[in-house]
Chains A and B, each alone.
Chain A
Amino acid sequence: MRRKVSMTINGTQYEHEVEPRLLLVYHIRENAGLTGTHIGCDTSNCGACTVEIDGHSVKSCTVFAVQAEGAQITTIEGLAKGNELHPIQQAFWDEHGLQCGYCTPGMIMAAKQLLERNPNPSEREIRLGIEGNLCRCTGYHNIVKAIQTASKVMATGAGKEAKAPATVS
């Protein structure tokens, strides 16, 4: 028994017939084809699948696709404007806030919500704020730095930190 579900993801309307048991994360990956949202566990611990649903950061493995009927969803693919990275994406790059990059999309989505709620968090607040997202590569050190840098950039609306490493791409 399939049910029709429609939602807006990154500004595009998606309409599909899905099984009611389909988790939103699979819907995003397989039906919408947005594979930046990753799956890292079966128990909603790792946060690799974090997306934004109607302004709230949500682990998309905790939601059935049909529950997102009519929702406005933002995934990692929806953050950059053209070639311009979102300040959090830029800060993760500048501060070496990622290594294998698998947890990164979820981590960035969690960081986005954190900074929206608390634009100037302390180190402790950042650490508590991303506690629901696991990273095995970075020891979180540079993720915390990246969120601090993003916080400063977003507060001032300024460009990159002067001390950020040289851009060579």
Chain B
Amino acid sequence: MAISQMVGASIKRREDPELVTGTGSFVDDLPQTGLAYMSIVRSPEPHARIVSIETSRAREADGVVAIFTGKDIRADFQAPMPVTPTFVPDKKAPDQYPIATDKVRYVGEPVAIVLATSKAAAEDAAERVEVRYQPLPPVTDIEKAIETGASLIHEDLGTNLSYDTKFAAGDIEAAFREADIRFKQRLVQQRLIPIAIEGRGVVADYKKFANTLTVWSSTQIPHFVKVFLAVLLGIPESQVRVVAPDVGGGFGSKIRVYPEEFLTALASKRLGRPVKWIEDRNENMRATHHGRSQLWDVEVAAKKDGTLLGVRVTQWLDLGAYCSQFGTFMVIGLLVAQGAYRMKAFDGRGIGVFTNRTPTDAYRGAGRPEATFLIERVMDLLARETGLDPVEVRRKNFIRKEEQPFTALLGLTYDSGDYELTLGKALEMVGYGQLRKEQAEKRKQGTYLGIGLATYIEICGLGPAAATQAASGVSLWGMSVVRLHFTGKATVIIGSSPHGQGHETTMAQVAADVLGLPIQDIDVQHGDTAIGPMGMDTYGSRSMALDGTAVHLSAVKVREKAKKIAAHLLEAAEEDVVYEGGRAFVKGSPSKAITIQEIAVAAFQTNRIPKGMEGGLEATTFFDPTNFVWPFGAHICVVEVDKDTGAVRIVRYVAVDDCGIRINPMVVDGQLHGGIAQGIGQALLEEGIYGEDGQLKSGTLLDYLVPTAADLPSFELEATITPSPVNPIGVKGIGEAGTIASSAAVVNAIVDALEPFGVKDIDMPASPEKVWHLMHKNGGKQR
């Protein structure tokens, strides 16, 4: 790599001055005149037939502009909402339209929309819409969903089973025959509600005579939204523009196209005026997709020396009421459950079912936290079975650095990794040996300390195009445009669409080093489908590995063209020209340099550039990598459990993560902090609880516990740097790594603390009540 100033520097984010002064532009902040406000009448029933919808009383309410029921507008949609094949191409997936017509299948499903002159008027009128339902028995249990006699959610499918599929390699029967140790465990991945602090929101502005549609949406995927708005509404894609302005967090919850994007746009088309819909938290907790909601049944074969032989696992995935766009992405958990370890055989089965609950889709980590939770709980259970230290069990089974790039059983090839390195460093940071002694001492005094490890590998940086197309039906790559202006300033357009990740800063850092421009001279634009070519947006920790690499490559193309122009202006051979720090000069004569600004001017004076060369100084890149990138790391959580209350306190949290080259270490650490916090939230606090009646019981922030500052410690982070070989800037992804490791580390720590009570497992969230009961089940006696 070239010597660089910007890459590797913790540069303060350029996004921040607007955001800290309250002058950011979130969807609800955008100035707009002539708006109609949309309120959505949503089903309070989890499973029911719609008998009738009476809107006359609502139409009389003040300020009402229009009311549309599902039946009124169903025919306007020219296709159902998109579902990708993602890992399970032969699954059963029902057609889902943005609004229900005959039947509702989850609490929160849209049944009618009300347009009025203010948000309050729209909500008042929505309350006067009378919908009569004929309730049907709700399906709310993952396993019971496919029992004989279960109420059918989609009658036309004839079953609540979407798929039952296998991902297996190696001789699993032989592994179990060879084993000295065999054990089984059920691991519960409770339903989570993502809770971006900004809910979703959409403003749509359709111009009738021009037949153009502009949509501002709080989304992670403006490019996808554009395509599907065009398809469903029958407007030429060239006449649809989607803008993701400042977006207040996503965490996967804004990764798909949603009913409300279509409904808002359709309402604008019907009314011929701009329409705004802003999701409130009550809606958000039911209408924005949920995450996890899985059961993992695992069976393990191992030798008594701790050697792992094979794993047999079934992942039950609750898709909710429909198959969301990327609903089966979570099956990736089976594909990477091998983790950082060798084994002889893996036998994975995936079962996907429909229930009368909010659809599930990606939530930070999406399948990979579940995979890590599985294999890391297995490692600790194996340690317990063999009497070995959890560190030793991991070390015994680690894939070695020399084996990289390592092809795992199911055929995926890890690009690089040194798991011993990150674990060793984390153990040193936490003072593992001393900590174990302290734990033993404290136990004697009735204080219960627990130490939990999690090592992880992560597959991210989605593309490559061929692999992602084969797996998900969507060809994924990175995109950038680097454009030098007449005055030597640069615009960088990226295909990624950030919502807190700081791309305006980090992408400029990448370009600055190649172009030799001061970072202030580089403006980064994103999130607007009108400004550049198609992009593949932001999710799956992909932006820097794909779009960041594309920025690097476009900048290199611009630099190479600049060199050619410089050679022409300097009347020298191109190979004699050196380009350095934004200046070009003939080798040995740096004092007679011309600057990039002078070259840029020449590029637009086409008489001054070489014959046959086109004017301008810009380049576009579509970057398709040869492989995924594979970050890895080791996290250690130390907890103290209060025997009287069952409360778990995180005493320390140590993490060593390797995401390859770190463009901006400050931003990398920030991503880790937030990711770790979300995994801790799953481990200790969060649960989307549905009753047997199909109602969401934890449907407000009073009941659904998002971690507060008082619930969390400060985190102790270190890094190792193993550059990825699959892109020229050596980067991997970091957006999800924290979450992927942390729920496993926390639960391992709690189970370790409860070891004296004979506890081998605890379901998440490890609430004080659950912990207390486990500590007191034998009258509080230790073994």
Which residues of A come within 8 Å of B, CB atoms?
Answer: 19, 21-22, 29, 34-43, 45-46, 48, 75-77, 79-80, 85, 89, 92-94, 96, 98-105, 108, 123, 126-128, 130-144, 164-169
Contact = CB atoms under 8 A, between A and B. Distances in A.
B20 interface: yes
Contacts of B502: 99
Contacts of B499: 100
B20 A165 contact: no
Contacts of A108: 20
Given A102-B248, A131-B709, A142-B673, A42 B519 contact: no
Interface residues of B, number: 62
Contacts of A105: 20, 22
A40 B198 contact: yes
A35 B28 CA distance: 8
30 contacts: A29-B28, A36-B21, A36-B24, A37-B22, A38-B26, A38-B197, A38-B248, A39-B28, A40-B199, A41-B701, A42-B282, A45-B701, A46-B701, A77-B23, A85-B17, A96-B667, A99-B502, A100-B499, A101-B19, A101-B248, A102-B197, A137-B197, A138-B673, A139-B674, A141-B715, A143-B709, A144-B709, A144-B714, A164-B12, A169-B520
Contacts of A99: 249, 500-502, 670-671, 674
A166 B670 contact: no
B38 interface: no
Contact of A168 (B14, B666, B709): B14
Given A96-B666, A139-B674, A140-B677, A36 B22 contact: yes
A48 B281 CA distance: 12
B435 interface: no
Chain B contact residues, majority secondary structure: loop
A138 B667 contact: no
A75 to B, nearest CB: 7
Contacts of B12: 93-94, 96, 164-169
B249 A140 contact: no
A70 to B, nearest CB: 23
A134 B17 contact: no
Interface of B: 9-24, 26, 28-29, 120, 195-199, 246-249, 251, 280-282, 499-502, 519-520, 666-667, 669-671, 673-678, 700-702, 706-710, 712, 714-715, 738
Contacts of A132: 708
Contact of B249 (A36, A102, A168): A102
Given A36-B23, A42-B700, A138-B674, A101 B16 contact: yes
A80 B280 CA distance: 30
A93 B714 contact: no
Contacts of A142: 670, 673
A126 B502 CA distance: 26
Among B195, B249, B700, residue most surrounded by chain A Cβ atoms (within 10 Å): B249
B709 A89 contact: no
A104 B702 contact: no
Contacts of B13: 93, 96
Contacts of A48: 197
B11 A166 contact: yes
5 tightest A-B contacts by CB?
A36-B22, A102-B248, A101-B19, A139-B677, A100-B500
A154 to B, nearest CB: 16
Contact of B22 (A34, A45, A100, A167): A34
A141 B763 CA distance: 27
B702 A43 contact: yes
A15 B26 CA distance: 26
B673 A141 contact: yes
A66 to B, nearest CB: 15
Contacts of A143: 709
A96 B24 contact: no
B662 to A, nearest CB: 14
A21 B121 CA distance: 12
Given A100-B499, A139-B712, A77 B21 contact: yes
Contacts of A46: 197, 281, 701
